[in-house]
Amino acid sequence: MAKHPLARYRNLAFVSFVLGLHAPVFAALVFPVLARANDRTPSSELLCRGLLTLVPLTVPIALGIIALATRSGRKHYAVVGIAVPGLILVLMLPTIWTNIPTGPPQCLSNIKQLTMAQLTYASDYEGCLPTAEHWPEVLLPYYNNETDLLICSADSRREKQRSGELPTSYTMSSRMSGVNLGELAAPGEIALLFDGTQLFGSHGAAAFRHGDGDRLNLGFTDGHAKSLAKKQFLATRLEP
């Protein structure tokens, strides 16, 4: 009786099959741990990347089941070998689709644009930043009246801090109010704007709305913006 063309690869297929079955469990346990360890990537995003790398492993799972078919002589196993990986992919798609990064996070983009508006304002006023008490109103012409930039989509509070009629999700460092940028020795190390619960304030006004609830976004006085974990933010300068 002639051997099935895949029979010679049966042992390799079985090993691939076992590894393929264990890999999703490994990803579910390890990727979130790595996310917390490096304090840079939210666990949901990192887990998503792990799932994406596991998609090709559905092929060895299929080969393993087909190899079973060659040993048992049950041809319907081959059909199962194709159907099972397909079902796995279908079940994984919602997780991948909802968590895969599609560009800069909305809040981080808001912070970046508002920080640049602060710097543009300063360039028009002899290098001096606006006063912290009225920064959203004063900066309005510098972010082209796009008031949606003032709101973080993760801020679920009904009552937000206000500057006049403008509600916002962000806090300006009170120690940077009216500061002359030309007098700063290390602007890249000083935070200017961050996710917060007050119109202006210090570390105590911070709001950690991102990642797993322990991260926030902030903009620095040299114009760059980034996401930081709580312990990193608490070590960040908010004064000249």
pLDDT confidence of residue 12: 55
Q: Looking at the predicted structure, is the pLDDT value of residue 107 above 60?
A: yes
Q: Which residue has the higher pLDDT, 85 or 44?
A: 85
Average pLDDT over residues 171-187: 95
- The pLDDT assigned to 102 comes to 42
Q: Quick check: 194 and 233 in contact, CB under 8 A? A: yes
> How high is the mean pLDDT of the chain?
77
Tell me the residue type at 108.
L
pLDDT of 63 reads 58
Q: Residue 114: what pLDDT?
A: 97
Instruction: Identify the helix (H) or strand (E) that includes residue 149.
Output: none
Q: Render 15-68 in DSSP notation, one character per residue.
A: HHHHHHHHHHHHHHHHHHHHHHHHTSS-HHHHHHHHHHHHGGGHHHHHHHHHHH
Q: Which residue has better confidence, 230 or 95?
A: 230
Q: Which two tokens stand for residue 13?
A: 């297929």
Give percent of the chain above pLDDT 70.
56
55-66 pLDDT per residue, tens: 555 555 555 555
Burial class (CB in 10 A: 0-12, 13-18, 19+), 81: buried
Show Cβ contacts of residue 105 under 8 Å, excluding neighbours closer than 6 positions: 210, 217, 227
What's the pLDDT at 213?
Answer: 87
So where are the chain's domains? 7-99, 106-234
Q: What is the pLDDT of residue 211?
A: 84
Tell me the HSE value of 101 on the side-chain side, using a 13 A CA sphere. 14
The span from the CA of 110 to the CA of 225, in Å, is: 10
Per the rule left: phi > 0, alpha: psi between -120 and 50, beta: everything else, 207 is beta
Give me the pLDDT at residue 189, please: 95
107 with 209: CB under 8 angstroms? yes
Task: Give the per-residue pLDDT at 13.
Answer: 57
- Is the pLDDT at 201 greater than 80? The verdict is yes
Pairing status of strand 166-168 against strand 161-163:
antiparallel
Residue 79 pLDDT greater than 60, yes or no: no
Q: What value does the mean pLDDT take over residues 74-102?
A: 55
